Structure 1
Amino acid sequence: MSRLRSGRTARVRTRQAAKPRLAPVRRNLNPIRVLDEEGLQRIHDASMAILEEVGIEFRDPQALSEWRAAGADIQGERVRIDRHLLMDLVRKAPSEFRVQGRGAETGFTMGGNTSVFCTMKGAPFTRDLDGIRRSTTEQDVINFARLTQACRSFHMAGGFTCEPMDIPVPHRHLIMMQHHMTETELPLFGIGTSKERAEDCVAMARIVAGDVMDDATAIWMHASGNSPLVWDQAMLDGARVFADAGQAVLCSPFVLAAANTPADVAATLAQVNAEALAAIAYLQLYRPGTPVVYGQYTVSISMQSGAPMAGTPEVALITSAVGQLARLYGLPWRTSANHASSKAFDAQSGYEGATTLMTAMNAGANLMLHAGGWDEGGLTICYAKFIADDEQNQMMARYAGGISLDRFDEALKAVRRIGPAGHYLGDEFTLAHFRDAFAMPDIMDFSSYEQWNAAGANDMATRCRKKAQTLLEEFTVPDMDPSTREELDAFVMRRKREIGLG
């Protein structure tokens, strides 16, 4: 029996090794609509009224000065923006833009009917290869960068996929970027929580990606708004650094529905829309043509515990409606995929992740953020879930491609050949196409109970952890010019000395 299992493992590894990275997903499905035209217009009008009448705070002297010069009504830090001014600025944002990592085969277009997957970001805790929850370490940063490169579905690296608690805070951004830039060749997210960190991230990307950044986005910033209705100086300082470098900024309100938005789906949408559009408009005011992505992170709040809840019906509706709003404005947009609030990699984790992933694809999201590893509301990154999410992403990509008629006529000939009461297992068409006709997942188990039991009765979490371990053991660091690596390492060492630990 051990030889049989070894043979199956060898076949699985060979099949995996032969598969290239998943191409950016071209959606052939019409995005779902949860608002009719009248409802969509009411949400838009309400957002405009919020910005005109209530206003939004820009807690940043430079932004206030620039809004004042543009004709907005400024009272203290409160900015009231006329809808015509706002929409004139929003229209300056590109509807599509080019993204390219340091690897030659990592490019894609952000926007249109393209969807891409990116890992989760920011977890201070890790559920490790033994299934134990503990603080994240630098080795976890390295491991998840390697898994991001090794897994087929990810088109972008999280950059700060998880946050190492064993590295001093002033140095963390340097270490996280250094590992992601060397262990992966993908475009990635940088860190813009201060002007200095943003400048470091852009400078490191310039060392690694070089001239790529002249014509494409190699590194992104995730600018997170403070709901309700606040954009602060730290985020705006970072966003301006990325904009000056011609790199993309994800403008993403952080919504805990019923906590920092009204306890109503439609009103939450109006507020989220106002917050996202205000940031997008500001970046076009600051630097017209800056590549931006309309973002939203939305979960609802448990009124029993105050904890965030993923995978709920209201979150799915909000996600779908945000897609409609982004298309109304001609903007690429982001949502979250594979979200889970569960404290274990269990049925709840799977149900939540499946709901958010399917919703994101059906809603037509361009950037599927947090599509690998997210558990416990983002506090924990899970090795097992990371692997399971990767396989789910691949299957969702097949779903998004829709039904092909390319081999339809040839397949119908098999119906004529076989006729009533036959079977297709030995038919020439089946033999020619069975390997790619239907998805053949490796992690999910479809054997009989007897086969599964004889093979060790491993549950999905165990199988995922074993695959993660195998991928890490067999990992090969992608090539980087030695002089580039030397320059990157020297930059990190110099900046660590300059920053110090005071």
Structure 2
Amino acid sequence: MSRVRAGRSGREARRQAQAVIAGRLPPVRRRLKPQEFLEPEGLEQIHLASLDILEEVGIVFRDEKALKHWRDAGASVDGERVYIGRDLLMELVSKAPSEFRMKGRGEKTGFVMGGNTSVFCPMKGAPFTRDLDGVRRSTTEQDVINFARLTQACSSFHMAGGFTCEPMDIAVPHRHLAMIRHHLIETELPLFGIGTTRERAQDSVAMARIATGGMEDAVSILMHASGNSPLVWDEAMLEGLRVFADAGQGVLCSPFVLAAANTPADVAATIAQVNAEALAAIAYGQLYRPGTPMIYGQYTVSISMQSGAPMAGTPEVALITTVIGQLARRYGVPWRTSANHASSKSFDAQSGFEGATTLMTAMNAGANLMLHSGGWDEGGLAICYGKFIADNEQNLMMARYAGGISFDRFKDALKAVRRIGPGGHYLGDEFTIAHFRDAFAMPEAMDFSSFEQWSAAGSANMAARCRAKARALLAEFKAPEMDAARREELDDFVARRKEQIDPAAL
């Protein structure tokens, strides 16, 4: 049996390696055993503490419909505070699918969310952009288009951000129409919609349905429902959740954690609160519509006690992320964390260190959805063209790491050892010549030449090289084909909604 498993592992690893070279990275099938910091006793302690919080402290749902649903289900409701009994909570959570299928408008964009699969999605929501000249400025509609195109062009991304960055040159009431339209046209991937109001959620779902030609067999668009920690779920998020659930689409339920600011200044207690918040939202989604595809989410950074600013890449955040993964697997639901997070104000060593730490933590923890895995800097306030390219390459290398070791060529490679023997070299060997292109990762954004070669080529640092790569990808970009009738219907929908929505409305 062990030989069979090794062979399958090898084929999977080789398939992923070849796909990175040939085209888009397939969904990452992790051969890594997820890292687990807590023993069963410690995990149970946090689980029970979360149940105690929801049963005894309660959680606020600022939404009359949700409050009625909870009352009808038998929960104790006092004003806006809901006290959820543990049996009711766990019964509801158990109804969430452990896996579900996602698919964009492209034929080869399908994957399973959950299990041992990991997928990459760029960042979302940046009001500022570090542009192709390395200058920080307000995000524009052209940036939305450009980053949608880079998402399609960069081979590591399986999902599009939908609202990867926010165009400040478009009136707020119309922004969601532009952001979703551009992502549906410039990419063929499943994407995130916008659920900050019921109408925006409805528009997002309607536009995705037009572009895909129907969403009956898979989730094509996800809503990001962000919690208001500590222990609050707001009406806007819950209305959006219901819109996506009614459409049979997925919802990411993600508490927004600034550790020591809106959670206790303690790692274990922070995890218990985050877990309570996420479980309450998942349970409500199943209460409203059993079987709704849902993702256990968490966005966690710690807070500098000197400046109050969020900090990514810290050891406490890694610990929290890893234990959240243990809890999600206990409950049998797909889960999300953040990858390539950075708080740096420039694309520099800090940005790289922070991003690498969060990416490695996410993969080792076994996350299914690697959100914010492209372009994130300045705590999410800025999206960086250069970092987007660098993150894409890091994702590709991380996928090879997670794919494990292949034994497909093992016997043939050992024959090379016999041919070469002591004191020789393998550079001209027939096995090396046949397989050197895909035997080891060969990053393009990083420079491995000598100092003299690097100097002669212009001494460009990684940020400059990545910006040049972004320019080249945008210059040669061709949008994926879209059925002409669907494109016309999508454009008509957007034009009609623009006329119906007052651009001066709040």
Query: What TM-score, normalized by structure 1, do the two folds share?
Result: 0.96
Counterpart among 46, 49, 65 of residue 49 in structure 2: 46
Number of the residue aligned with 1:440: 442
Where do residues 63-212 of structure 1 align in structure 2 (5 Å cutoff)?
63-211=66-214
SS at 2:488 equivalent: helix
Number of the residue aligned with 1:372: 374
SS at 1:446 equivalent: coil
SS at 2:330 equivalent: helix
Number of the residue aligned with 2:415: 413
Number of the residue aligned with 2:300: 298
Number of the residue aligned with 2:226: 224
How far apart are the structure 2 equivalents of 1:451 and 1:19? Answer: 28
SS at 2:129 equivalent: strand
Question: Deviation of residue 16 (structure 1)?
Answer: 11
1:470-499: CA deviation from partner (whole Å, max 9, x where unpaired): 000000011011111111111111101101
How far apart are the structure 1 equivalents of 2:365 and 2:409? Answer: 28
How far apart are the structure 2 equivalents of 1:260 and 1:421? Answer: 62
How far apart are the structure 2 equivalents of 1:165 and 1:137? Answer: 6
Letter in 2 for 1:260: N
Number of the residue aligned with 2:237: 235
How far apart are the structure 1 equivalents of 2:419 and 2:349? Answer: 44
Where do residues 333-348 of structure 1 align in structure 2 (5 Å cutoff)?
333-348=335-350
Number of the residue aligned with 1:267: 269
Counterpart among 37, 40, 56 of residue 37 in structure 1: 40
How far apart are the structure 2 equivalents of 1:288 and 1:53? Answer: 25
SS at 2:295 equivalent: strand
Letter in 2 for 1:405: F
SS at 1:130 equivalent: coil
SS at 2:329 equivalent: helix
Letter in 2 for 1:497: E
Structure 2 runs not aligned, ≥5 long: 1-17
How far apart are the structure 2 equivalents of 1:306 and 1:392? Answer: 29
Question: Deviation of residue 17 (structure 1)?
Answer: 11
1:271-311: CA deviation from partner (whole Å, max 9, x where unpaired): 00000000000000000000000000000000111100000
Where do residues 349-498 of structure 1 align in structure 2 (5 Å cutoff)?
349-498=351-500
Letter in 1 for 2:305: M
How far apart are the structure 2 equivalents of 1:185 and 1:472? Answer: 16
How far apart are the structure 2 equivalents of 1:436 and 1:16? Answer: 10
Question: Deviation of residue 18 (structure 1)?
Answer: 6.6
**Deviation beyond 6 Å, 4+ runs, structure 1:** 15-18
How far apart are the structure 2 equivalents of 1:154 and 1:251? Answer: 21
Number of the residue aligned with 1:10: none
Report the more deviating stretch, 244-253 or 414-423: 414-423
How far apart are the structure 1 equivalents of 2:221 and 2:294? Answer: 12
Q: How many residues align?
A: 487
1:76-115: CA deviation from partner (whole Å, max 9, x where unpaired): 0110011110000000000000000000010000000000
1:349-375: CA deviation from partner (whole Å, max 9, x where unpaired): 000000000000000000000000000
Number of the residue aligned with 1:12: none
Q: Is the 8 A contact 2:124 2:162 kept in 1?
A: yes
Report the more deviating stretch, 403-412 or 451-460: 403-412
How far apart are the structure 2 equivalents of 1:406 and 1:474? Answer: 36
Number of the residue aligned with 2:65: 62
How far apart are the structure 1 equivalents of 2:322 and 2:20? Answer: 36
Number of the residue aligned with 1:289: 291
Question: Deviation of residue 427 (structure 1)?
Answer: 1.1
Letter in 1 for 2:251: V
How far apart are the structure 2 equivalents of 1:396 and 1:469? Answer: 24
Tell me the percent identity: 78
How far apart are the structure 1 equivalents of 2:103 and 2:287? Answer: 25
SS at 1:221 equivalent: strand
Counterpart among 195, 213, 216 of residue 214 in structure 1: 216
How far apart are the structure 1 equivalents of 2:21 and 2:404? Answer: 24
Query: What TM-score, normalized by structure 2, do the two folds share?
Result: 0.95
Q: Is the 8 A contact 2:213 2:486 kept in 1?
A: no
Question: Deviation of residue 312 (structure 1)?
Answer: 0.1
Number of the residue aligned with 2:12: none
SS at 1:203 equivalent: helix
How far apart are the structure 2 equivalents of 1:459 and 1:16? Answer: 28
RMSD over aligned Cα atoms: 1.1
Number of the residue aligned with 2:8: none
How far apart are the structure 1 equivalents of 2:213 and 2:330? Answer: 35
How far apart are the structure 1 equivalents of 2:317 and 2:23? Answer: 33
SS at 1:251 equivalent: strand
Structure 1 runs not aligned, ≥5 long: 1-14
Q: Is the 8 A contact 2:336 2:369 kept in 1?
A: yes
Question: Deviation of residue 415 (structure 1)?
Answer: 1.0
Letter in 2 for 1:288: P
Number of the residue aligned with 1:246: 248
Specify whether residues 16 and 424 from structure 1 end up closer, same or farther in structure 2 by C-alpha distance, changes over 3 A only.
same
Letter in 2 for 1:403: I
Q: Does 1:26 align with 2:52?
A: no
How far apart are the structure 2 equivalents of 1:349 and 1:16? Answer: 28
How far apart are the structure 1 equivalents of 2:448 and 2:127? Answer: 35
Specify whether residues 17 and 284 from structure 1 end up closer, same or farther in structure 2 by C-alpha distance, changes over 3 A only.
closer
How far apart are the structure 2 equivalents of 1:490 and 1:364? Answer: 42
SS at 1:214 equivalent: coil
Question: Deviation of residue 19 (structure 1)?
Answer: 2.7
1:426-482: CA deviation from partner (whole Å, max 9, x where unpaired): 111111111111001111111111111111111000000000000000000110111
SS at 1:314 equivalent: helix
How far apart are the structure 2 equivalents of 1:18 and 1:68? Answer: 55
Number of the residue aligned with 1:11: none
Number of the residue aligned with 1:6: none
Question: Deviation of residue 251 (structure 1)?
Answer: 0.3
Number of the residue aligned with 1:501: 503
